[in-house]
Chain A
Amino acid sequence: MSAVSEREIDLAILRAGSVDYLDYWFISRLVGDLARSPEAGDPGTLTIQAVGRLLVSGQLRAGDLEPPGEFVAWPISPEAAFERVRSRVDELSGELRVGDIAWFEVPTASST
């Protein structure tokens, strides 16, 4: 299997995000599934790159998921959101767990 393309990764994330809010753990696993071959690259690097691309392009929003199930986007620019995500990933100690780092939403016309 050849290296997975950025477009493939982005589309997989957006498809999953069309039916649920996504946390960083889920995205990392999704990317890991796509990047199983050695040529695909490091899944961790591919994950943060994909999140960065999608955040900055406005196709993904970062925020928190608050009970009973409302997504609250961070009131900061996409670039700042990406920096926050990257910083949290860098600071993560131990295994990535469900709900760690951030939650993400694929914006709809009504949510933008």
Chain B
Amino acid sequence: VIAPLRPAVVVLLAALIFAAPTQAAGLPAAGCVYQYDATSTVAVGTQEPPSATTTHVVNTRRGAFRGYDRSLQASPVGMRILCAVLAAKARTPRPFGVVRPDQPPTRLRPGGNAIGRAGASPGIRELDTADELDEVFEVLRVHGSPTTSRYPGAGFDLPGGGFVGRRESKRFGPTLDINIPGIDDIRKIHVRGQ
């Protein structure tokens, strides 16, 4: 029996196995995001443009953002296998988000519906917990880079011109600000009851 491997070890092994920069035309650029435990998230996805073969593997620690990023070369086939390896070791039975750089993040529309519940105003959604909000933030920011704008929190500019930011509010609790082209009905996410 193999003791549960730490996510970093799994990712490293998978990277070594599948680090073959081959072209596999016809396969969509996509990725996966898995939660390993209470604090670790591993995301795999291609960078823009979708035809690029660089796969980003991101292991983030929720809240403190003490995670590390690793880039590796993998074919779309290798990336899919890597996702399968992650799935076998992950805490979640299936990806809680799918990263598709060529489309709006599907994490905001699980099952095709806007995430969470409707908030007090159009464009505002509510989630049950701060953990869930943080997990959504981690998924959305995977391909982002720290924003150059003046934002009172952790803001990330996304490929394609979008933005996602997480900020604290003493009066209203943690909040995500979202400005993603094509997603006009989700501009803020709050935690219900805060």
Contact = CB atoms under 8 A, between A and B. Distances in A.
B150 A99 contact: yes
Contacts of B190: 19-20
A68 B168 contact: yes
A40 B80 CA distance: 49
B120 A97 contact: no
Interface string A58-95: 00000011111111000000000000000000000000
Interface residues of B, number: 27
Contacts of B163: 97-98
A19 B172 contact: yes
B148 to A, nearest CB: 9
Given A25-B179, A98-B163, A98-B177, A66 B152 contact: yes
Given A20-B175, A97-B179, A98-B149, A30 B169 contact: no
B124 A16 contact: yes
Interface in B153-190: 153, 155, 163, 165, 167-172, 175, 177, 179, 184, 187-188, 190
A106 to B, nearest CB: 10
Given A66-B152, A98-B165, A99-B152, A19 B121 contact: yes
A8 interface: no
> Which has the most chain B C-beta neighbours within 10 Å: A25, A30, A68, A97?
A97
Nearest to A66: B152
A18 to B, nearest CB: 6
By secondary structure, the A interface counts as mixed
B80 to A, nearest CB: 34
Contacts of A6: none
Interface residues on A, range: 20 to 34
B144 interface: no
A20 B188 contact: yes
Contacts of B184: 29, 33
Contacts of B172: 19-21
Contacts of B123: 16, 26, 29-30, 33
A12 B167 CA distance: 23
B105 interface: no
Interface string A4-19: 0000000010011011
A105 to B, nearest CB: 8
B171 A16 contact: no
Contact of A65 (B124, B152, B187): B152
Given A19-B119, A29-B187, 6 more contacts: A16-B124, A20-B172, A21-B171, A26-B188, A99-B152, A100-B149
- Top 6 A-B pairs ranked by shortest CB distance? A69-B168, A16-B121, A69-B169, A65-B152, A99-B151, A19-B120
5 contacts: A19-B119, A19-B172, A20-B124, A30-B122, A30-B123
